[in-house]
């Protein structure tokens, strides 16, 4: 935010950081259980809210509908991890000298220009780290925990296998079906895919380092 030629930041940014980071202090098990109760079609908070606002005829079976279950799980995963990225990028932006923005504003630059000409280039290493961490989360144990706890079926992944994820598939093959060798092979392949993803991101995102 600009005041004259001074950069004052976003009003209430400290409060926003606390709100976004709050899920990070909770165990992923607690988060999954909270949302499991919220998604309950009979007594959950979401359907109760819909009834309260006169939408009682719209009562989805959130985790029991194959078309909705995966979306519901994705919402939980995004909500539980966004705080890390808020802190990551906030720390990166705090390290950028304010003089750069003040000089750009004096030259008549707008918010769009300062973002693409100053903020993004100086945060490029942080962007790379964020992409890599996002890939690790998507292929890691956090998705396993959320799906295992929230979804229906003998060992999660339902309904109709609509929410199955690779870590959960490895678990099912190893401990439910007794195919330890097959599960180990998939686990090693998952590790290689994660490493390959990180290498590709580093390769494609390589650019000249900007010093300030």
> Does the residue 212 lie in any domain?
no
Mean local confidence (pLDDT), 17-46? 87
* Least-confidence region, from 63-72, 80-89, 116-125, 201-210: 201-210
Euclidean distance between CA atoms 94 and 82, whole angstroms = 18
| Selection from 38-42, 92-96, 129-133 with the highest mean pLDDT | 38-42
Query: Where does the pLDDT of residue 37 fall: very low under 50, low under 70, confident under 90, or very high at 90 and above?
Result: very high
> Does the residue 211 lie in any domain?
no
* Least-confidence region, from 134-143, 163-172, 190-199: 134-143
Of 92, 85, 83, the C-alpha closest to 23 is 83
CATH number at residue 169: 1.10.3720.10
Q: How many other C-beta atoms can be found within 10 angstroms of the C-beta atom of residue 30? A: 13
CB burial of residue 211 (10 Å; 0-12, 13-18, 19+)? exposed
State the pLDDT at residue 191: 87
CA atoms within 13 A on the CB side of 39: 23
> Does the residue 209 lie in any domain?
no
Q: How many domains does the chain have?
A: 1
pLDDT over threshold 60, residue 212: no
> Does the residue 134 lie in any domain?
yes
pLDDT over threshold 70, residue 12: no
Write down the pTM of the prediction.
Answer: 0.79
pLDDT over threshold 80, residue 209: no
pLDDT over threshold 60, residue 174: yes
Domain range holding 45? 2-204
Contacts of residue 182, defined as CB under 8 A and 6 or more positions apart, other chains included, come to 173
Contact criterion met (CB below 8 Å) for 63 and 151: yes
pLDDT over threshold 60, residue 138: yes
Q: How many other C-beta atoms can be found within 10 angstroms of the C-beta atom of residue 76? A: 24
């Amino acid at each position: 935010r600009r005041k004259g030629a001074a950069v004052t930041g976003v009003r209430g940014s400290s409060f926003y950081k606390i709100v976004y980071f709050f899920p990070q202090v909770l165990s992923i098990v607690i988060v999954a259980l909270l949302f499991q109760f919220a998604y309950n079609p009979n007594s959950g908070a979401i359907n109760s809210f819909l009834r309260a606002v006169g939408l009682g005829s719209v009562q989805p079976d959130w985790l029991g509908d194959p078309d909705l279950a995966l979306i519901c799980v994705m919402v939980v995963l995004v909500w539980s991890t966004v705080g890390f990225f808020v802190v990551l990028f906030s720390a990166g932006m705090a390290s950028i000298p304010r003089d750069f923005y003040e000089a750009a504003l004096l030259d008549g630059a707008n918010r769009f220009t300062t973002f693409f000409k100053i903020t993004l280039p100086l945060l490029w290493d942080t962007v790379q780290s964020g992409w890599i961490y996002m890939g690790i989360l998507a292929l890691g144990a956090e998705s396993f925990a959320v799906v295992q706890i929230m979804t229906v079926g003998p060992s999660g992944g339902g309904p109709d296998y609509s929410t199955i994820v690779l870590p959960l598939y490895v678990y099912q093959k190893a401990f439910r079906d007794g195919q330890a060798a097959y599960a180990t092979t998939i686990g090693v392949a998952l590790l290689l895919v994660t490493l390959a993803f990180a290498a590709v991101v580093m390769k494609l995102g390589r650019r000249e380092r900007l010093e300030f």
